[in-house]
Amino acid sequence: MTRLLASRFWVGLMLLTTFIAQAQVSFDAKVSRKRLGLNERLRVDFEMNQNGDNFIPPAFTGFRVVSGPQQAVSRSWVNGVQSFSKTYTYFLTPKLKGKITLDQAQITINGEVYKTSPILIEVTAAVEKPNDPNNIDYITDENIKLVAEISNANPYLNEGIAVVYKLYFRNPISISDVQELESPSYGDFWSHLIKIGQVRVNPKGVYKGEPYNEVVWRKVVLYPQKTGKLNIEPLTLNLSLSVPSNRRDLFGRRILTQGQKTITAGRRVINVKALPENNKPAGFTGAVGQFDFDVLLDKNALKASESFQALLKVRGNGNLKLFTLPEINVPNTLEVYEPEHKENVKIKLSGMEGTIEDTYTIVPQYQGKYPIPPIQFSYFDPKTKSYKTVRSQDLLVDVFDGPIAGNAQEEKITTPKQLVQAVDTTFRFIQLDTRLSLIRKVSFWKSTLFWGLMVLPLLLLVIAFLLKRFVFEKTEDGATSRQREAQRLAKKHLGSAKKAFHDQVAFYEALERALHNYLKAKLKIETTELSKDKIERLLLDKKVNQQIAQDFVAVIQNCELARYARGSSVSIKGDYEKASSAIASIDRQL
């Protein structure tokens, strides 16, 4: 009996202890170290043994948050006893030296607010990182590199340079996700981003003579628009990594640890040289590169009052979009209209290449032979570091079957003046004997003027009715027809995108191609070579409503983001409707 009571007592005591242990709530802050160098990283874990809500982290004053929060939850049963653990993890780097206090974090558990205790962290001067193969920071720093490769760090003004951002990594690091935290800006450059498409890993990359996995993340072509030292802002990426830890599983293999790593290519400085002033040609308009120049006529013989076209054409490699062609010079008797400018330029990593043209329409007024004086085109060649001038050939236009210039003036000059002499019969036409006749008196009420004034108002009413019926209403129908035509054009360009609703990647590729093809067909511009800001500015220059222009650019931006982030069917339908509305609105306004 005594043993039975004793056993019941101990069982009850154990159950009571277990209940008290489970009922006790803990919420603590733990740090990986309390003393670290300015160039080292600090890990902070906020742990709780019961699930809570409304977690509020500290302000992390004096630190920069590299990544976090990363949330981890653990549940286990041991001898019938349940244990629970939930952790919020942050990775920090200090901003300054000295003693920094890590403030309190708080959370609400079962209606009660719990706070952690402040922790004092001492930050020393930057230390040399240990070459410990088991240290995670050392492993990531030694096996991940982000490099900005620049083709020419000392270009001339308006000379093209290429910048390629490459990410290198190797074993034992594996990357599961990449996010672009900070994109470089090119404020002092004319820039063009070259599309890469799907990001691919090249396992045969080489960095400083050692094998790496290579990923080309971004390609851009720049043309400096100012001289001196120009800054290229850094590209910063946040990487989700899998790194081997010091722990091993039952088979002796290292257990992988998931972590975050922020890496940057750093700020780069480009020293831009001014073009030399010595021997600069008088007609130089800023062309830099290697070019050919020619002037071509579609006719060299025609009738007066017919027209012919003169084509000024530049072909080559260089800043084709950033300079103007020289003007044509013809005799005054030829009427010249404003030129039509065309560009057929491709932008590769080596820069712009292709042709630009100015086509002049010229109409002669008189017959004759008209010489077209040679035209000079000057450019700067950065390879030879000198100016070069190309001169077009002499041209002659033969105009026939038309008036001769100056004939009217010659007839006036050569016609002699004759003296008028009076004779006896000069004034014999005057009738001296008059014969009077009676004028019949006509009443105004029966006159043609009276009836004309009576009929005129009725006639005006009939004309007004006809104008309203067949002119103004037809104009309104034309406006409605144009609106329907705009909607039909939008459906035509977006038809391929609509067919790909089931495939997000194919949809956004087709949608982006449709938007660029629309502007190319409507405004005769190659928008794939322009940034989104320049596309918006170009639409505003065409008197397009600012909100519509912003919606159009926003859809293009969504197409670019969809390459890296999955979207829902709701966003796909919304982007399609926004694109359709923007195209129809732009078409009506233009």
Is 413's pLDDT higher than 60? no
Token pair for 61: 């004053």
pLDDT at 414: 35
Is 322's pLDDT higher than 90? yes
Structural domain includes residue 436: no
Give the DSSP H or E segment for 139. helix 136-143
| CATH number of the domain encompassing residue 250 | 2.60.40
Q: Are residues 92 and 208 in the same domain?
A: no
pLDDT at 3: 56
| CATH number of the domain encompassing residue 379 | 2.60.40.740
Which of 357, 379, 400 is the endpoint of a domain?
400
Q: Which residue in the block uniquely carries the two structure tokens 């932008």?
A: 347
352 vs 354: CA distance, rounded Å = 7
Structural domain includes residue 411: no
311 neighbors 342 (Cβ within 8 angstroms): no
352 pLDDT tier (thresholds 50, 70, 90)? very high
Q: Are residues 522 and 489 in the same domain?
A: yes
- Strand ranges (DSSP E) for 249-350? 254-264, 268-272, 289-297, 301-303, 308-318, 334-336, 340-348
Q: Are residues 252 and 303 in the same domain?
A: no
pLDDT at 569: 47
364 vs 246: CA distance, rounded Å = 88
Q: Are residues 308 and 382 in the same domain?
A: yes
The average pLDDT across 559-574 equals 65
Q: What count of residues does the chain have?
A: 590
Token pair for 92: 């920090």
Residues 6+ apart with CB under 8 A from 152: 159, 161
User: pTM for the complete prediction?
Assistant: 0.49
Which of 272, 303, 319 is the endpoint of a domain?
272
The average pLDDT across 392-400 equals 90
The average pLDDT across 463-483 equals 69
Give the DSSP H or E segment for 519. helix 504-523
The average pLDDT across 529-541 equals 76
pLDDT at 584: 79
The residue type at 443 = S
Q: Are residues 255 and 141 in the same domain?
A: yes
296 pLDDT tier (thresholds 50, 70, 90)? very high
373: preceding bond cis by omega (within 30 degrees)? no
Torsion of CA 515, 520, 522, 525, to 10 degrees: 130
Which range marks the domain in which residue 378 is found?
A: 289-400
279 vs 381: CA distance, rounded Å = 13
The average pLDDT across 259-282 equals 89
Token pair for 353: 């290449």
* Tens digit of each residue's pLDDT (9 = 90 or more) over 368-390: 898 988 999 999 999 999 999 99
- Beta-carbon count within 10 A of 91 CB: 22
The average pLDDT across 71-98 equals 79
Check residues 519 and 311 and name the one with the higher pLDDT: 311
Is 159's pLDDT higher than 60? yes
Q: What is the DSSP letter of 24?
A: -
